[in-house]
Amino acid sequence: MRLAVCEWQKLFRLPALWVFLGLCLAFNGLLLAEPSPYDRAFFNETSSDAVALGQRADNGFRARLAALPYTENREILRQSVMRTEDIFETYSTEELAAFYQKATAGDPIAQSILTRKYELLQNRADHLAQTDAALDLYAGPITHDSHQYLYNRLLRAIVTEGILLGVLCTLYLMGCEKRTGTQNLICTSRTGRRLWRRKMRISLAASLGFYALLAAAALGPYLFLWNYDGIWDSSVSSQFNYYSDLFFVRPFLTWTDLTVKQYFIAMILAGGVLVLVFTMLTAAVGLWLKHTYAAAVAVTALCSVSVGLSIAASNSGWWTAYLLLTFSPVSLWLSFNCWFTEMGLSAAIPWQETVGLSLGLFVWGGLTAFTLRSFERKEDVS
């Protein structure tokens, strides 16, 4: 226990950690102030109306909305729901499949993989047609912008900061004994070398702890400013929600039925898993190289090479290789704002983010365990 307390004290005495954390909190504050007051007012009024009227934008909803006192925002909302229909009743994924067939021309394996994915997506569209999920209001005409602001801007920033703090904590703890000149003395025994196993556990706990702190510090004020009372129970696959890949706009089709609240929680939890994956990646590299600065450069290079290989594969038309690279942690981070959907060219299979995160935990967790065992067995760790 005393060793664990000592390691936590080392971490908390690192000035760069608190400076970076302060910068992250300040940056998130700027992000919270980014949306216009009009957008927030429209969102909040729509949510308040949804509390009274319900989320299903059918004829009854339109009649009840028309009976409410006139406001400019309600008039905009009324016009947006005048012709709502269940878009999934006639929705076909064949157009998406044809689009990606053309985009990946020259690679029949990639074409067959993507065609199979969109065949499975058609089953989801048919199911959503039966549940009338498309008729849910979500936030009406401001749905897309507010959804992308939350997940592509604010929550992506929080996850990125959690990753960077996890990397910083891991690099510092793994290399602080070498910098202070005490590593050779500690590592004269196998018991001493087992200290790095404790460091690994503390790095994982610290990365999750800082991620949770950043999430609470940003999402708490966000939920205070943005009223979700009438929105939480809406389907996230409302016809008002969409995203685009390669400039091709498509509905926000998830692989299972998710309300706005369920999607919000799932994204926060999955973001935490991605933070853990990058922390273990850093630990494996740090233990292998046994040098803090070299490990920092190597982690940066590894992430850069992953992006470079994806770009090279797409430019060369090696789409099968490109789809394999979409399972990498960096590719998963890049596609963060459309997790739990079909994700376009950023996914080869359904539930790509879930499979990719699981693979990341397995691969980098396994490599971390392997390097720890190797480190503990070696008498010369200089």
For the segment 90-140, what is each residue's pLDDT rounded down to a tens digit?
999 999 999 999 999 999 999 999 999 999 999 999 999 999 999 999 999
Q: Say what the pLDDT of residue 181 is.
A: 52
Cα(326)–Cα(356) distance, integer angstroms = 8
Give the mean pLDDT of the chain: 90
Res. 4 pLDDT band, cuts 50 70 90? low
- Residue 372: pLDDT band by 50, 70, 90 thresholds? confident
Give residue 177's pLDDT. 62
Is residue 180 scored above 60 in pLDDT?
no
Mean pLDDT of 232-237: 96
- Answer yes or no: are the C-beta atoms of 186 and 376 closer than 8 Å: no
Give the predicted TM-score (pTM) of the model.
0.93
At residue 186, does pLDDT exceed 60?
no
332 close to 249: Cβ distance less than 8 angstroms: no
Q: Where are the alpha helices (DSSP H) in the chain?
A: 2-12, 15-32, 37-53, 59-66, 72-80, 94-103, 108-131, 143-148, 155-180, 183-186, 190-193, 195-225, 260-289, 292-316, 319-325, 329-334, 352-377
> Do residues 29 and 222 lie in contact, with contact meaning Cβ atoms separated by under 8 Å?
no
pLDDT attached to residue 234: 95
pLDDT-above-90 percentage for the chain: 77
Structure tokens belonging to residue 100: 């990606």
Residues in the chain: 382
Tens digits of residue pLDDT in 315-334:
999 999 999 999 999 999 99
Average pLDDT over residues 23-44: 96
**Average pLDDT in the 210-237 region?**
96
CB atoms within 10 A of CB 46: 26
Question: 290: pLDDT confidence band, cut at 50, 70 and 90?
Answer: confident
Distance (Å, rounded) from C-alpha 293 to C-alpha 168?
A: 11
